[in-house]
Amino acid sequence: MTDHFRRDGVIAGRLSSETLAENFSDLHPALTPHEAVVAADRCYFCYDAPCITACPTAIDIPLFIRQIQAGQPEAAAGTIFEQNVMGGMCARVCPVETLCQEACVREAAEGKPVEIGRLQRFATDAMMARGEHPFERAPSTGKRVAVVGAGPAGLSAAHRLALRGHDVTVHDANPKPGGLNEYGIAAYKTPEGFAQAEVDWLLRIGGIEILHERALGRDITLSGLRTEYDAVFLGMGLTGVGALGLEGEDLAGTENAVDFIATLRQQDDLTALPIGRHVVVIGGGMTAVDAAVQAKLLGAEDVTIAYRRGRDRMPASRWEQDLAASKGVKLMFDVAPVALHGEGRLREVELAYLSDMEPTGETVRLRADQLFRAIGQRLEAVEGLDLSGGKIAVTGAGRTSLDGVWAGGDCASGGEDLTVTAVAEGRDAAEDIHAALTGGAVARTGALVGEPLRGIDGPPHGEVPHPGTHG
């Protein structure tokens, strides 16, 4: 029996650096050129493709796959980036199994969809590897826009606004840009510093300045931004994490899952990151799964996800649930924590069994020296803004209750809390801001949908026709 199985407590160094490197290697390795062509050949190139409708950013998926099949991966990347400038990250972290690939005609017919996510990564990686930026910025409009948050929504909005010729200043609370992509996603989904590489690539559009460690309500105010800039976009995500409200929640060994994931993401040496021998994660979303799987990969012996509803109501997709199970994580459904036990340090988590969310009277105690809360985040009140369901109330393309202020991503009402949704909301809000700043007309400036993209070999977007089949 290896040594890490004999040591109790929250300690570092349960596994060797070699084992940790293997555990945290790329979850979905990149396709080779040959593999990409073979995967692309499976696409029916549906004229009325349901995969496009299922994509929150409405990428023309059959077209970019057709371009890969035709040997033009950079042209395929152009098709993707026109709709989703963070298509590289989304190719890695999107729950494609519940979006485009679930809608794929091949999935319905054979139970095996076209590998849209991996094909998207193949195309976007091809262009980014060349170090080129396919967009040409429009002449300056003289307008200045503030963006709060350098996460997916904020960066998407900033890029589209800069493309349209506006000068953008991004205010971010963290020391590094990227938001959720940098601090909140499992390390095995985006290894080798991809989040920062994508930000560096995105900033090549020009016209974007990022100011770090500037949090709204602490270092900057909304009223001050409205005075200084012509428009403001809020994309700062969610901050506070809900408490369990249980006695013992202050015991050593209890922490928020988002903090654990952020610490892990910024850890240069994973052998120095402490992890418990017996870990319990409370929650049922993607954060819960990411925390649980990574705890197991760090060397925890027993890891359990405890969720208060049934499997069919778990926010994390069935694919993510199965991934957790394949890594040795135990999933418990219809249970809720009722007590945390220990003297100074967590020793046990007591769970109550539920039926239709009501206690049955039965409980069970799990041995635990570490507990992660993944029970949702909330938004603190923002000066002068109406809230809806704990988020900023928005209408249309992200318009808030204050003139000149837009919002998108996790901090805004409506939509799913996904990277790809945040990108779409940031993009659409930016177009609405541009229209508002230029008198209501969206000018055809910059290289956007339907226009040739600079720096792309082969035909511009739209010149590789669909074969015309419907699937």
How many domains are there within the chain? 3
- Provide the percentage of residues in the chain whose pLDDT is more than 90: 84
Write the burial class of residue 341 (CB in 10 Å: 0-12 exposed, 13-18 middle, 19+ buried). Answer: middle
CATH number at residue 343: 3.50.50.60
356 and 422 co-located in one domain = no
Q: pTM of the prediction?
A: 0.91
253 lies in a domain? yes
Task: Write down the pLDDT at residue 152.
Answer: 97
18 and 122 co-located in one domain = no
Does position 466 have pLDDT exceeding 70, yes or no? no
Does position 296 have pLDDT exceeding 90, yes or no? yes
Cα–Cα–Cα angle for 26, 181, 457, rounded to 5 degrees: 75
372 and 383 co-located in one domain = no
Does position 176 have pLDDT exceeding 90, yes or no? yes
251 and 373 co-located in one domain = yes
The pLDDT tens digits for 97-132 are: 999 999 999 999 999 999 999 999 999 999 999 888
Does position 454 have pLDDT exceeding 70, yes or no? no
427 lies in a domain? yes
The residue-averaged pLDDT of 453-468 equals 38
Does position 281 have pLDDT exceeding 70, yes or no? yes
Does position 383 have pLDDT exceeding 90, yes or no? no
The residue-averaged pLDDT of 310-338 equals 97
Pair 75, 457: CB distance under 8 Å: yes
265 and 356 co-located in one domain = yes
Per-state percent for the chain, helix, strand, coil, to nearest 5: 35, 20, 45
The pLDDT tens digits for 189-223 are: 999 999 999 999 999 999 999 999 999 999 999 99
219 lies in a domain? yes
Provide the token pair at 77.
């990347």
344 and 289 co-located in one domain = yes
CATH number at residue 70: 1.10.1060.10
307 lies in a domain? yes
Q: Name the 3-class secondary structure at 134.
A: coil
Task: Write down the pLDDT at residue 417.
Answer: 85
275 and 363 co-located in one domain = yes
9 lies in a domain? yes
Given 334, 354, 377, the domain boundary residue is: 377
366 and 277 co-located in one domain = yes
Task: Write down the pLDDT at residue 316.
Answer: 94
Does position 3 have pLDDT exceeding 60, yes or no? no
Given 377, 398, 416, the domain boundary residue is: 377
The pLDDT tens digits for 30-39 are: 999 999 999 9
330 lies in a domain? yes
Provide the token pair at 258.
């988002």
Q: Helices 194-202 and 152-163 meet at what angle, rounded to 10?
A: 20
> What gap in Å lies between CA 279 and CA 51, rounded to an integer?
38
Task: Write down the pLDDT at residue 73.
Answer: 96
417 and 320 co-located in one domain = no
Does position 451 have pLDDT exceeding 70, yes or no? no
The DSSP 8-state label assigned to residue 111 in this structure reads S
Provide the token pair at 160.
């589209």
9 and 21 co-located in one domain = yes
Task: Write down the pLDDT at residue 7.
Answer: 63
383 and 406 co-located in one domain = yes
Paired residues of 145 in beta bridges: 168, 231
303 and 366 co-located in one domain = yes
460 lies in a domain? no
468 lies in a domain? no
Using 50, 70 and 90 to split pLDDT, how confident is the model at 453? very low
Does position 26 have pLDDT exceeding 80, yes or no? yes
User: Residue 330's domain spans which residues?
Assistant: 3-25+242-377
Neighbours of 196 (CB within 10 A): 15
Given 94, 129, 164, the domain boundary residue is: 129
